[in-house]
Amino acid sequence: MEKFSPVSSIGTPLDRPNIDTDQMVPKQFLKLVQRTGFGEFLFYDWKFEPDGRKKEFVLNDPKYSGSRILVTGENFGCGSSREHAAWALKDYGFDVIIAPSFADIFYNNCFKNGILPVFLPKDLVSEIIKTNSIIKVDLQFQLIEFDGKSIKFQIDPSRKKTLLDGLDDIAVTLQYEDKISNYEKTH
Q: Tell me the pLDDT tens digit for each residue of 120-139.
A: 999 999 999 999 899 999 99
Domains of the chain as residue ranges with CATH: 7-186 (3.20.19.10)
Interval 38-95: pLDDT, tens = 999 999 999 999 999 999 999 999 999 999 999 999 999 998 878 899 999 999 999 9
140 vs 163: CA distance, rounded Å: 10
- Between vectors from CA 115 to CA 22 and to CA 169, what angle results, nearest 5°? 100
Alpha helices by DSSP H, the chain: 21-24, 44-47, 84-92, 104-112, 122-130, 157-165, 169-174, 177-186
Whether 115 has a pLDDT exceeding 90, the answer reads: yes
Mean pLDDT, residues 167-182 taken together: 79
This prediction's pTM: 0.91
Q: What is the pLDDT of residue 178?
A: 84
Q: What is the pLDDT of residue 35?
A: 73
